[in-house]
Structures are given as structure tokens and as C-alpha cells.
Amino acid sequence: MATYAEPLPRYDLSADEVAQLEVLLADLVRSERDPGEMRFHDDAWEYAARLPTGLRAALEDFRRTDPAAGLQIFGLPVDDTVVGPTPGDWQAAAASVRARREEFFLALVSRCLGDVFGWSTLQAGRPIQNVLPIAGEEDQQSGHGSDTLLEWHTEDGFHPYRCDYLLLFGVRNHDRVPTTLSSVRDVQLPDDVRRLLAEPRFYILPDDEHLRQLAARDPHHPGLMRMIRMRETPEPVAVLFGAADSPFLRIDPFFMRCVDDDTEAEQALKALVTELERVQQDVVVGAGGLLVVDNYLAVHGRRAFTARYDGTDRWLKKATVTRDLRKSRDSRETAADRVLV
């Protein structure tokens, strides 16, 4: 069977739009506000209104009509010298202000799609996270690995409050390391397999990163306790859900198993995995590029690469966005909070 993947739509910023953005981003940088703090995102609607009209229209269409599994945005210049060397870990990246301009852009684009939120178990709950290789974590199934292929997955697929959209902005990617992406809309499966995948016959467990970071920093944190419970006593879920003729997807094969060793479910899952592999495409998020992933339609991962740890490695900024923050109220300390515990 031939491989076929629907190409992603793209939005190219015009010279006038870039000039408009530069004024907006310069104003924000001078304001000394911090997009790494949740307070900024409470006010981001005001600044997002100053984004170019064409860009906002493209984002609104993507949000409202579900036209594709992803959207690429190109054209914002990134000065490789100004942003500084790729940091050695996410803590150093979070503490640096050198790429704050790029974080503002990511934050405002995110606001056009919904509400940015964070996890207490990941990067201290920061709303803007850093994806970069960390020495000693080369083989981890996380955004900090390098030598090992990051297996494709639904972002936080184990969790009922996972994001609607995952956004990746390129600060640096000299080696053009690809992000992998597959769309559930491109797969071809028999109706009986689709029906089986739509039944709650699968467990998806929390990935190691949700457990590892907080265990090292605060082993008694309630967020960690919740993740441990979800790993030890998972709820059975369906892999396909929504409209039968155009389903949504949640899957993370590396952290999955079937309920009661259900062989029929296992075969159906294997069929879906094979199809998602068949239609997989490589998407390079280069400097100044932004990839919006629809987390209900797409799975994503990353090709393996060799990290140098010399300040020139791949460095992305990441945001997770929900269309409905209210639904996660039982996992946030207050109604206004944006961090899931």
C-alpha cells in the first residue's frame, strides 16, 4: 500500500506582518513581563489582538474547522546570536531572558487557539517549556532525549485533560532534526477494527517524564501522587472517539497495554500503529518556524540525533493549549489557576 500523508497547511508571514510583529514584540520585551509566568497569560488576550489580522484569521479557521492535523507558520526572524547558546537544561533555559521575544510570539499565537496551561509534574509548571537535549538523558523518551527515537504519541494521551493543541517554536535547529507527525485522517482501517478501537479496551499510562521530574524535586507533591495512582490503577479508554466517520485519536504505544491481555484489542491496536507509521511525515521546525499540532488528530515524535552540547543543538519552545480550561477544575487549585496538579 502506498504511503500517503496529507500535506500540512502553512501560513507565511509577509514583510509587513513581520514589521508589525516586531513592534509588538519589542513593546512586550521592554515591558519586562515574563511569558514564563502564568500571570502574563491572563492578559495575553489584549496583546494577541495586535497580531496581524491574517495570522489571527488563519488560526481561527484552524481552531474552528479542524481542517488538518497541523499548521505551520513561517517567517519570524530569529537572531542566532541574540538568543544565545542552547542551554544545558530546561532550568537554565527558563532562567534566561535572551529568547523572551520568541516566547512572547509563541504565547500570543497560543492565545488565539485557547488557554495555555502547564503541569505541576513538568518543568515546574511553566507555561512555556523548553525542548532541548540534556546530557545524561540521551535515551529518555522525552523532549530531552537525543540518541533514541522519540516514539510518536498523543501529547499526554493518558490524561483526560490533555491539550487540544501542542505548539512548537523553533529557536534553533541547525541540523534540521525532524519532528514526526501522523494524522488519524490519513489511516485506512476496516470498519470492524475502527469499532473495536472505539471501545474502552486500552490502558494508557503516564510517561516517565511526568513521574521523574517531580520525584526528584518534590517526592511528596500531590501532583506526583496523582500520576502514580494513574499509572498503578489506570482507567480503560478508547483509542478512537468522537464521530465514527471522522474520529479523534488518543494513543501512546510505548506506554500502553490492553485490558485483560485482550488479544483482539491488541491486534486492532497493531493495525492502527502500522497505519500511523505508513502515513508518517517528517516536519522540520527550523528557527523562526512554528508548528501547531492538533493533539486530537495527530501523533508526533522526533527522529534520533547526536547532541553536541556545544550550544548549537536543537532548541524549541513548547506550549500546550486547551479549548476548555474549565473542564480541568478538579485538577487546579483555583478556578483562575493554569497549572494542573
Residue 210 marked ligand-binding: no
Alpha carbons 54 and 13: distance in angstroms, whole number? 9
Place of cell 479557521: 61
| Closest CA relative to residue 156, chosen from 237, 37, 259 | 237
C-alpha torsion 201→225→154→204, nearest 10: -20
Nine-digit cell string for 77 = 526572524
Q: 331-336, long-range: CB within 8 Å, 24+ apart, which pairs?
A: 331/161, 331/226, 336/42
Dihedral, CA of residue 298, residue 230, residue 269 and residue 278, to nearest 10 = 30
- Which residues, 6+ apart, have CB-to-CB distance to 43 below 8 Å? none
Grid cell at residue 138 = 540521551
Q: Please, what is the angle between helix 100-111 and helix 38-48, to 10°?
A: 70
Sign of the alpha-carbon torsion through 114, 118, 123, 127: positive
324 SS3 class: coil
- Does the annotation place 155 within a ligand binding site? yes
CB 102 within 8 A of CB 316: no
| Rounded distance between C-alpha atoms, residue 320 and residue 327, angstroms | 15
8-state DSSP, 119: E
Binding residues for Fe cation: 153, 155
Residue set of the binding site? 153, 155
